[in-house]
Amino acid sequence: MSNMTVSVSPHIKDKTSTKSIMRDVIIALTPALIASVLIFGMRALLVTAVCVAFSVGSEWAFEKIVKKPNTIGDLSAAVTGALLAFNLPVGIPLWQAAFGSIVAIVVVKQLFGGLGQNFANPAITARIVMLLAFSSTMTTWVFPGLVSSATPDALSGATPLVILKGETSAALPSIRDMLLGVHGGCLGETSAIALVAGGIYLLVRRVISWHTPVAFIGTVFLFTLILGEQPVYQLLSGGLLLGAIFMATDYSTTPSTNWGRIIFGVGCGLITVLIRVWGNYPEGVSFSILLMNILTPYISKLTAKKPLGGAEV
């Protein structure tokens, strides 16, 4: 008997793996993490660390309990933890951050079957749960910045979206501060430059395609332009860039065809603006992505590619 392997073709494989994709996402999130530490201080790092630790830990524990193979090595739980942290205010009590991480991994991801099976984005859904459960801490924007050009008042006060909504008399930060991220907001969402840099990295590495982010951001820009709602500020504030680049491009919860991705992005953009302009919440990115997540199977079906040369069934 020979001891040669006999397997079905192909016998070679490109280098991309789930782990390499997740590693790329973590690399892409790094500029925003560095920016958040510079803007909000070391506590940003602490909150991120807690979220990542509890995400990875709860994935490990859940899989241990239900006797599933351990998958923390694919780094997807770490990505979820980091994304959730980026969606939290820096002053969030750590136990709340930990709670949110467990909700994201156990309830939203694992109970639906684990990686690739969940229909809703775990980080987004957990953030919404936290927003409803811990409304006050989730909307308290403390700002103990290390490097800041803005006045302490503007920093600790309101987010640009709250200001845009006219709910406070504070002045809008300058465009330069908006780009750098020196303004109130969740810890990972403020620095436009850092987020775009991460997005470009993901595009270059072909981890994401341009369709969803461009459709999402473009729709928000155009829609607010038509409504006369300061499109540039709308684009740079809130979780739009973070959401459009990192969360609306999540594989399992968004369509897998390019046209589907465009529809998804446009839908997210419309819902975001509707909530921002007419809704009760100043921010609508999370809700828009979650709502579109629910529509994803239908968008996928609608935009399925036609097999080349396929006869009618």
Partner 1 sequence: MSKKRLHGAHVPHWKNTAGDKPEKMPTPAVVTIPMSMHIGAPAKPVVKAGDEVKVGQLIAEAGGFVSSPIYSGVSGKVKKIDDMLNSAGQRVPAVTIETDGKQELFEGIAPPKVTNLQEFLDAVKNSGVVGLGGAGFPTAVKLTVKDLSMIEAVIINGAECEPFITSDTRTMIDDADLVWQGIELLQKYLKVKRVIIGIEDNKPQCIGNFRKMCKPGCGVEVSALPAIYPQGGEKVLIYHTIGRIVPEGKLPIDVGAIVINCTTLAAVAKYIQTGIPLYEKCVTVDGSAVKKPKNVIAPIGTPLKDVFEFCGGFSSEPKKVLYGGPMMGIAVPDLEQPILKNTNAILAFNEKDAELPKETACIRCGRCIAHCPLNLAPVNIETAFRLKDAASLDILKVNLCMECGCCAFVCPANRPLVQVNKLSKAMLRNYQNEQKALEEKQKAKEKAKKEGSK
Residue ranges in contact with partner 1 by CB under 8 A: 2-14, 16-18, 20-21, 71, 74, 76, 114-117, 251-252, 256-258, 304-311, 313
Give the tokens for residue 134: 């811990």
The least distance separating partner 1 from the CB of residue 12, rounded to whole angstroms, comes to 4
Contacts of 200 (CB under 8 A, 6+ apart): none
8 A C-beta contact, residue 230 and residue 164 = yes
Give the tokens for residue 12: 């070679």
Q: Which of 93/116 has CB closer to partner 1?
A: 116
The least distance separating partner 1 from the CB of residue 244, rounded to whole angstroms, comes to 18
Q: Which of 118/159 has CB closer to partner 1?
A: 118
3-state secondary structure of 99: helix
Q: Which of 113/152 has CB closer to partner 1?
A: 113
CA pseudo-torsion sign 214, 217, 220, 221? negative
8 A C-beta contact, residue 190 and residue 36 = yes
The least distance separating partner 1 from the CB of residue 63, rounded to whole angstroms, comes to 12
Q: How far apart are the first and last CA of the chain?
A: 47
The least distance separating partner 1 from the CB of residue 254, rounded to whole angstroms, comes to 9
Give the H or E element holding residue 127.
helix 122-133
Residue that has been written with the tokens 């910045």 in this structure? 145
Q: Which of 73/152 has CB closer to partner 1?
A: 73
Q: Which of 9/280 has CB closer to partner 1?
A: 9
The least distance separating partner 1 from the CB of residue 114, rounded to whole angstroms, comes to 6
The least distance separating partner 1 from the CB of residue 75, rounded to whole angstroms, comes to 12
Calpha distance 252→264 (Å, rounded): 13
Q: Which of 97/106 has CB closer to partner 1?
A: 106
